[in-house]
């Protein structure tokens, strides 16, 4: 399965982004082949509906779980509609690679 992690930049040593709708990038981690891919969030500076739009990006990339700091009500509604699990993490000092390592070691993406 694919897990999306909100990221402040486009590499594995970037730090975690607490914002969902206005995250800079989405890191898509594929648990089957352990590959990662960074998708730029083109709607960071949009004036409204950033969460709705980000949810759409996530849904289209075939993700089943999203890890972010917080989800707004509209993003939540949309992600719920597609049964995408939302996981909240509040530590913005973590890097993307450390989060991925944690996922791997917990093997907690069954």
Partner 1 sequence: MPIKIAVASGKGGTGKTTVTVTLFHYIKENITSKVQIADCDVEEPNSSIFFDDLKPIESKEVLQMIPSINTDRCSFCKKCVDYCEFNATVVIPGVGFAEVNSALCHSCGACLYACPEDALTEKSHAIGQLIKFGNNQETPLIEGKLKVGSAMQTMVINHLVNDDWLNGDIILYDAPPGTSCSVVSTVSQANYIILVTEPTPFGLHDLKLMIELVRKLNKPFGVIINKADKGFEETNTYLMSEGIEILAEIPFRVDYASSYAQGSILKNIPGDINAAYSKLISNLKNKWVHYA
By the 8 A CB rule, do 32 and 84 touch? no
Q: Restricting to residues 66-95, which ones interact with partner 1 according to CB under 8 A?
A: 74, 78, 81-82
* Cα–Cα dist 6/23, whole Å: 6
Among 1, 35, 40, 60, indicate the residue that binds partner 1 (CB under 8 A): 60
Query: Is residue 49 involved in binding partner 1 (CB under 8 A)?
Result: yes
Nearer to partner 1, 50 or 103 (CB): 50
* Selected range binding partner 1 among 12-20, 23-31, 45-53, 92-100, rule: CB under 8 A: 45-53
- The count of residues in the chain is 110
Cβ neighbours of residue 60 closer than 8 Å, sequence gap 6 or more:
none
- Kindly report the backbone phi and psi dihedral angles of residue 7, in degrees, each rounded to the nearest multiple of 5, phi listed first: -135, 145
- Summarize as ranges the residues that interact with partner 1 (CB under 8 A): 43, 46-50, 52-53, 55-56, 59-60, 74, 78, 81-82
């Amino acid at each position: 399965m694919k897990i999306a992690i909100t990221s402040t930049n486009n590499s594995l040593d970037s730090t975690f982004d607490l914002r969902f709708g206005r995250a800079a990038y989405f890191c898509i981690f594929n648990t089957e082949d352990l590959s990662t891919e960074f998708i730029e969030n083109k709607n960071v500076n949009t004036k409204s509906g950033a969460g709705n739009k980000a949810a759409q990006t996530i849904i289209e990339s075939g993700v089943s779980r999203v890890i972010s700091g917080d989800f707004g009500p509209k993003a939540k509604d949309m992600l719920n509609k597609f049964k995408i699990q939302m996981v909240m993490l509040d530590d913005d000092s973590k890097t993307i690679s450390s989060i991925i390592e944690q996922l791997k070691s917990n093997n907690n993406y069954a």
